[in-house]
A and B are shown apart, each in its own frame.
Chain A
Amino acid sequence: MYAPRVVTHFERFGLSDEQLRGMLHTMLMQRTLENRGFQLNRQGKIPFASASEGHEAVQAGAAMAFERGRDILVPYYRDLGLDLGIGLTPYEVLLSLFARAADHSGGRQFPHHYASKKLGRFTISSIIAAQTAHAVGAAYAIKLREERGRAVLTTFGDGATSEGEWHEAVNFAAIHKLPVVLLCENNEWAISTPQSKQMAVRDIYKKAAGYGIPGALVDGFDPIACYGAVRAAMQRARSGDGPTLVEAKCYRFLSHTTDDDDRTYRTREEVEERRKDDPVPKFERFLLENAILSSADLEDLRAQVLAEANDATDRAELMPYPLPSDLYAQVHAGPWEPWQ
Chain B
Amino acid sequence: MAVASPSKVMTNVEAVRSTLYDALKRDDKAVILGEDVGNRGNVFLITKGFIEEFGPERIIDTPIAEASIVGIAVGMAMEGLRPIAEIQFADFIYPAFNQIVGEAAKTRYRSNGEYTCPMVIRTPYGGGVRGALSHSVSVEALFYHVPGLKIVVPSTPRDIKGLLNAAIEDPDPVLFLEHKRTYRLIKDDVPDEYFTIPIGKANITQEGTQLTVVSYGLYAHQSLEAARKLQDENLSVEVIDLRSVRPMDRNAILDSVRKTHKLLIIHEDNKFGGVGAEISAMVAEEALFELDAPIRRLCCPDVPAMGYALPLEEEYMISTDRMAEEMRAMVRF
Contacts and interface: CB of A to CB of B under 8 A. Distances in A.
Interface in A105-151: 105-106, 108-109, 113, 115-117, 122-123, 125, 127, 130, 132-144
Contacts of B72: 133-134, 136-137, 140, 169, 172
Contact of B79 (A72, A127, A332): A72
B215 interface: no
A249 interface: no
B247 to A, nearest CB: 4
Contacts of B70: 133
A35 interface: no
Of the listed residues B58, B78, B113, B200, the one surrounded by the most CB atoms of chain A closer than 10 A to its CB is B78
Contact of B172 (A138, A175, A333): A333
A125 B147 contact: no
Given A105-B112, A133-B71, A340-B246, A331 B103 contact: no
Interface of B: 31, 57-58, 62-63, 65, 67-68, 70-81, 83, 95, 98-99, 102-103, 106-116, 147-148, 150, 170-172, 200, 246-248, 250, 282
Contacts of B57: 143-144
Contacts of B150: 332
Given A133-B68, A133-B99, A169-B68, A138 B115 contact: no
Of the listed residues B57, B75, B95, B98, the one surrounded by the most CB atoms of chain A closer than 10 A to its CB is B75
15 contacts: A108-B109, A109-B110, A123-B78, A123-B115, A133-B70, A136-B71, A137-B76, A142-B79, A144-B57, A164-B95, A168-B63, A168-B67, A168-B71, A330-B108, A333-B172
A171 B68 CA distance: 10
A339 interface: yes
A104 B81 contact: no
Contacts of B65: 168, 171-172
A103 B111 CA distance: 9
A334 B282 CA distance: 23
A113 B110 contact: yes
B246 A117 contact: no
A136 B111 CA distance: 19
Interface in A169-201: 169, 171-172, 175
B30 to A, nearest CB: 11
Q: How large is the interface on A (under 10, 10 to 19, 20 to 34, 35 or more residues)?
A: 35 or more
A130 B114 contact: no
A100 to B, nearest CB: 12
Contacts of A123: 78, 107, 110-111, 114-115
Contacts of B106: 125
A216 B102 CA distance: 31
Contacts of A142: 79
B81 A134 contact: no
Of the listed residues B83, B111, B150, the one surrounded by the most CB atoms of chain A closer than 10 A to its CB is B111
A50 B74 CA distance: 27
B110 A133 contact: no
Contacts, number: 146
Contact of B103 (A103, A104, A134): A134
Contacts of A132: 71
B63 A175 contact: yes
A317 interface: no
Given A130-B71, A130-B98, A340-B246, 19 more contacts: A103-B112, A113-B110, A122-B75, A123-B110, A130-B99, A130-B102, A132-B71, A133-B70, A133-B75, A138-B75, A140-B75, A141-B79, A165-B71, A168-B71, A171-B63, A330-B112, A330-B113, A331-B108, A332-B172
Contacts of B58: 144
B98 A165 contact: yes
Of the listed residues B31, B57, B77, B114, the one surrounded by the most CB atoms of chain A closer than 10 A to its CB is B114
A142 B113 CA distance: 22
Contacts of A130: 71, 98-99, 102-103
A336 B247 CA distance: 9
A339 B200 CA distance: 12
A109 B107 CA distance: 12
Contacts of B78: 122-123, 134, 137-138
Interface in A60-83: 72, 74
Nearest to A176: B60
Contacts of A330: 108-109, 112-113
B99 A165 contact: yes
Contacts of A106: 112
A87 B246 CA distance: 40
B68 A117 contact: no
Contacts of B282: 339
A332 B115 CA distance: 12
Contacts of A115: 110-112, 114-115
Contacts of B148: 331-332
Q: Which 4 A-B pairs have the closest CB atoms?
A: A137-B75, A133-B71, A168-B68, A134-B75
A86 B63 CA distance: 34
A194 B158 CA distance: 56
A137 B67 contact: no
A113 B67 CA distance: 22
